[in-house]
Chain A
């Protein structure tokens, strides 16, 4: 029974990891930018949801669309007017500039909102429901459902719409896309906006489960990276699968080894995966 509980916990958390990784995987896959500020975007989403809850009493689930829109706009502007300027520089420079962005965002958050721990605690926060000896917190379940819904919407967007096609074309071959008349600067910005929106949504959901601080994003960036690589870069489904795998790994190590080990495990997993099978679980050889 404990085993099943650990499994469920892992899957519920894993879904959220998958959502986080989707955003990073999208940006990486399309523009070959590894966004080190990804965690900071998650953090912004969490704070946004927190303030809407604290100041206006908005239920965090209902506030999610607002968070998504806000982060989309922010991400769009960031890419359009800053990152687009260095997209074709060496990988190291794009990595460095997103690192700089992360430092700026974290410190602005510190100055505005202090380093105090925040938590979003709606009325139903502690409620669980029990089924056959298992305890499942309502919030975790609804978070999982929301991540599933958002993931599906995202897939549909990418696979079935004109916008999605334009994004995929631009990621395949920038010059050809440009020649085909696709406004690539705009598409890149939309892509980053989508990635930021996904991160923001993940942040809004994360804030319902864990404390919010300006520095919460650091380990989340790394975890998103682990998940993206684990699942296989370039495959969106891979991000979801990778997320579930990480969630399970963390759940099992936390229960059977101790609460301080999960972080070390995920980072260790990363190093191992990069050496043993860099293309990831679902990835194809030769993909970025």
Chain B
């Protein structure tokens, strides 16, 4: 068992090292594309913590991306703080928001929780839109970064961190507690799991990583306004990437982000509309035909039409 785990960590480290070398060989266009994939993968892996492991499907994590972006942005522009301070502050702001919001709304179940999170995201957008310090509707212009590779390595670092957290969840007592909450919350309580605390921690972690990604994102795109940051399509993207890859698995969301972002990029060069349409269609197809995700399909070798039919039979009227 020990040897196997060490070998897998070795492979993972090698892969990361390989990716880290990419900017040396790839064109700037590819590098930009990879940074975008990193961002989406971070969001998907973050969502996985609360949606995949804990079973509380948040439809509002874009709020945390947003608050991270704006906190970092405001500290960079209005307070002229260095990124080394502004970025962690963004992550911290998102973590605190998630914990604060989580306390009341994690008590809600099913539809109510999902829509409440949607409401939180919308409210955040409206508040940012109406408030002076965020530049309101006009937005904020970031200082220009001297080293464009900075974003690549920052995003890579955050991605490695959030994936590591996911891995930790899959193998730790805390993670098993979250899974128990997902599977049967009443039973989890009866077994001595402090569910309210665990859910809040999971939500806060999820928010924190979205916030960190948001901070880097703001600096990367150099200009943020409410519409650029609080996009609903981002919510769809992070959820479907996690679900497509396999919600509740460690690598599923990452895989989902890679595959879907690549296909979307191939299909739609500049036309935003086509990309969004693609995601919408993918969502429908995935829910119908592979709701447990790619990792599950690969694991069970369930590639046949028969497997798909079995899923349909289980879910159809």
Q: Which residues of chain A have a CB within 8 Å of any CB of chain B?
A: 28, 32, 34, 82, 84-89, 91-93, 95-97, 99-104, 106-108, 110-111, 174, 184-185, 188, 218-219, 222, 225-226, 229, 260-261, 263-264, 267-268, 270-271, 274-275, 278
The size class of the interface chain B forms with chain A is: 35 or more
Residues on A with beta carbons closer than 8 Å to the beta carbon of B281: 100, 104
Residue of A nearest to B107 (CB): A275
| Contact indicator B280/A267 (Cβ below 8 Å) | no
B105, B111, B315: which contacts A88 (Cβ < 8 A)?
B315
Task: Answer yes or no: B283 CB below 8 A from chain A CBs.
Answer: yes
Check A222–B118 contact: CB distance below 8 A: yes
Cβ–Cβ contact B287 & A97, under 8 A: yes
> Main secondary structure on chain A at its contact with chain B?
helix
Q: How far is the CB of B293 from chain A (nearest CB, A)?
A: 12
- Chain B, range 98-117, C-beta contacts under 8 Å to A: 104-105, 107-108, 110-112, 114-116
Beyond the given pairs A96-B287, A107-B280, 4 more chain A to chain B contacts, judged by CB atoms under 8 angstroms and listed by A's residue number, are: A96-B239, A99-B236, A111-B277, A274-B112
Which A residues are in CB contact (< 8 Å) with B127? 264
B288 at the interface (CB under 8 A from A): yes
Task: Provide 5 A-B residue pairs closer than 8 Å at the C-beta atoms, listed in order of the A residue.
Answer: A34-B114, A93-B287, A107-B277, A263-B122, A271-B105
Chain A residues whose CB sits within 8 angstroms of the CB of B274 once the complex forms: 107
Are the CB atoms of A219 and B122 closer together than 8 Å? yes
Distance (Å) between the CB of A278 and the closest chain B CB? 6
Q: Point out the residue from A88, A96, A222 that lies within 8 Å of B240, measured CB to CB.
A: A96
User: Chain B residues with Cβ under 8 A from A88's Cβ?
Assistant: 314-317
Which of B119, B130, B233, B277 is A271 in contact with, Cβ under 8 Å? B119
* Contacting residue for A87 out of B119, B129, B317, CB 8 A: B317
* Contact between A85 and B316, CB atoms less than 8 A apart: yes
Please, how many angstroms separate the alpha-carbon atoms of A91 and B104 in the complex?
21
Question: Cβ of B240: which chain A residues have Cβ within 8 Å of it?
Answer: 96, 100
- The reply to whether B287 and A103 form a contact with Cβ atoms under 8 Å apart is no
B104 touches A275 (CB 8 A): yes
Central interface residue in B274, B279, B282, B317, by most chain A CB within 10 Å: B317
Chain B residues with CB under 8 Å of A264's CB are 123, 126-127, 130
Distance between Cα atoms of A260 and B127 in the complex (Å): 10
- Inter-subunit contact A185/B236 (CB<8 Å): no
Residue of B108, B116, B280 near A102 (CB, 8 A) is: B280
Q: List residues of B (281-296) whose CB comes within 8 Å of A's CBs.
A: 281-284, 287-288, 291
CA distance A93 to B316 in the complex (A): 12
- Bound-state CA distance A261–B130 (Å) is 8
Cα distance, A226 to B104, chains bound together (Å): 17
Tell me, rounded to whole Å, the shortest Cβ–Cβ distance linking B99 to chain A: 16
| Chain B 118-134 near chain A by CB (<8 Å), digits 1 or 0 | 11101100110110000
Alpha-carbon separation in the docked complex, A82 to B108 (Å): 28
B140 within 8 Å of A by Cβ? no
The smallest C-beta distance from B315 to any residue of chain A, in angstroms, reads 4
* Contact (Cβ within 8 A) B280 A278: no
In the assembled complex, the Cα of A65 lies from the Cα of B280 at a distance in Å of: 30
- In the complex formed, the residue of B with least CB distance to A32 is B111
Q: What is the chain A residue whose CB lies nearest that of B279?
A: A103
B273 touches A107 (CB 8 A): yes
Write the chain A residue with the least CB distance to B126.
A264
With a cutoff of 8 Å between Cβ atoms, the chain A residues found around residue B251 in the complex are none
Given A91-B111, A103-B277, check contact A267 B122 (CB 8 Å). Answer: yes
